[in-house]
Structure 1
Amino acid sequence: MGLLSKIKSYFLVVIAASVLMSCSSASIEDYDKTTPVLNLKTFFDGQLTASGIVQDYSGTVTRKFTVTMEASWQGDEGVINEWFIYDDGEKQTRIWKITDLGNGKYQGTANDILGIAEGEARGSALRWAYDMNLVVDDSEYEVHFDDWMFLVDENTIINKSDIIKFGITVAEVTLVIQKVN
């Protein structure tokens, strides 16, 4: 088999795997009856802290980080200030502006988010979908985030995000968010 045939075969396998994975992915409706019920206004209110990791496509941890958050709501409009500190010393700030659209639907914007993030909560889960400009080693990449949050108890959320480029998951972020009492 020639090199061109091997490359074509490889891409066909990748495309087929991507199609199969997208057909079997979880849906927000799968969490309709789960508890405790996630309410963003209740959880993201006041001081929060988080710790997380970034894993590359092979599962290798490439970064560790902590986040300090301050969140508040005025009616259906929320602001979540996030201050990241990475294990290599890099610091980053993100300010989310969230709108509660009702019926478990949310929209959000932030400085590095492209367009509007769309979110939906059902039961104990929330799924966000958004595009972001992601800086890696002085280069900027436009990527898609498939971002899931799961309320474990009234003080803890586990957040798992797939970072997707060209339909392929290139990295994952796992984050544990806790309310400060």
Structure 2
Amino acid sequence: MILLSRRSLLFGSLALAACARVPASPQRPLRPIRLEDAFTGRATGQGVFRVTLTGSERRFRADLNGRLVGDRLTVVEDFFYDDGEENTLTWVFDRAGPGRWTGRRDDTVGFAEVVERGDEIRLSYTADFESVKTGSIPALASIVFNDLPIPSEMRVSLYVSRSDSERILFTFASPLPA
């Protein structure tokens, strides 16, 4: 028969409990990003529009050129689709306060809202655009600087590279129709 003292039992339990914990991984400090930092100047991206419901898919390249004058940021987006179509859309954003912007693009319905939070920028808006198989679809788009899952029926991811070491993921999505 093995006899354990209370002290041995206590230390044994603590040692076992310590093994059960997963150590916290060290986190590097996140670099804050602002809309004007992300979109002032030139950048090139590529992506694909996918509509799961209809099965349509379009690949594209986007050249972006942004200019900041005072509290107004203008971003010209030139889209080049694999099927040969080309399209140019222009965003005009106005600073609405600390970490907040409002904006419009040629195809938006109403105003876009932009919120800057640490290492992430979120852009939400409704836009009318032509889908190859479904005609005009109102779409809610969110731009997210980290790859967060967005439950959606339609998704496009656009990677924008300013340099080999800096890559930004933009995810555009619309909710499932009601």
Q: Give the Å deviation of 1:144.
A: 2.0
The alignment status of 1:141 with 2:137, answered yes or no, reads yes
Residue 174 (structure 1) aligns with? 157
Instruction: Give ranges in structure 1 of 5+ residues lacking alignment.
Output: 1-32, 152-157, 163-167
Rounded to whole Å, the distance in 1 between the matches of 2:149 and 2:43 is 19
| TM-score for the superposition, normalised by structure 1 | 0.66
Residue type at the aligned position of 1:174? S
Residue type at the aligned position of 2:114? G
Say if 1:114 and 1:133, in contact at 8 Å, map to a contact too. Answer: yes
Q: In the comparison of the two structures, how many residue pairs are matched?
A: 136
The alignment status of 1:41 with 2:41, answered yes or no, reads no
Residue type at the aligned position of 2:157? T
> Is the alpha carbon distance of 1:144 and 1:112 closer, same or farther for their aligned partners in structure 2, counting shifts above 3 Å?
same
Q: Give the Å deviation of 1:137.
A: 2.6
Residue type at the aligned position of 1:92? N
Q: Which protein is bigger by CA-based radius of gyration? A: 2
Deviating 4+ runs (over 3 angstroms) = none
Say if 2:34 and 2:121, in contact at 8 Å, map to a contact too. Answer: no
Q: Give the Å deviation of 1:102.
A: 2.4
- Percent of pairs identical after alignment? 24
Rounded to whole Å, the distance in 2 between the matches of 1:108 and 1:84 is 19
Which structure's residues are more often helix, by fraction? 1
> Is the alpha carbon distance of 1:34 and 1:53 closer, same or farther for their aligned partners in structure 2, counting shifts above 3 Å?
farther
Rounded to whole Å, the distance in 2 between the matches of 1:161 and 1:67 is 23
Say if 1:49 and 1:180, in contact at 8 Å, map to a contact too. Answer: no
Q: Deviations over 1:37-64 (max 9, x none)?
A: 1111122111111111122227x78121
Task: Give the match's secondary structure for 2:68.
Answer: strand
User: For the aligned residues, what is the CA RMSD?
Assistant: 2.8
Task: Give the match's secondary structure for 1:140.
Answer: strand
Rounded to whole Å, the distance in 2 between the matches of 1:54 and 1:65 is 8
Task: Give the match's secondary structure for 1:36.
Answer: coil
Q: Deviations over 1:106-148 (max 9, x none)?
A: 1110110111001101011111111110101382222222x13
Residue 74 (structure 2) aligns with? 79
Task: Give the match's secondary structure for 2:31.
Answer: coil
| Structure showing greater relative contact order (alpha-carbon pairs closer than 8 Å, 6 or more residues apart) | 1
Q: Deviations over 1:72-117 (max 9, x none)?
A: 0011101000000011111111100011222211111011011100
Residue type at the aligned position of 1:125? E
Rounded to whole Å, the distance in 2 between the matches of 1:127 and 1:135 is 23
> Is the alpha carbon distance of 1:137 and 1:53 closer, same or farther for their aligned partners in structure 2, counting shifts above 3 Å?
closer
Say if 1:43 and 1:179, in contact at 8 Å, map to a contact too. Answer: no
Rounded to whole Å, the distance in 1 between the matches of 2:90 and 2:149 is 18
Rounded to whole Å, the distance in 1 between the matches of 2:96 and 2:149 is 23
The alignment status of 1:116 with 2:102, answered yes or no, reads no
Q: For 1:22-41, list aligned pairs within 5 A.
A: 35-41=30-36
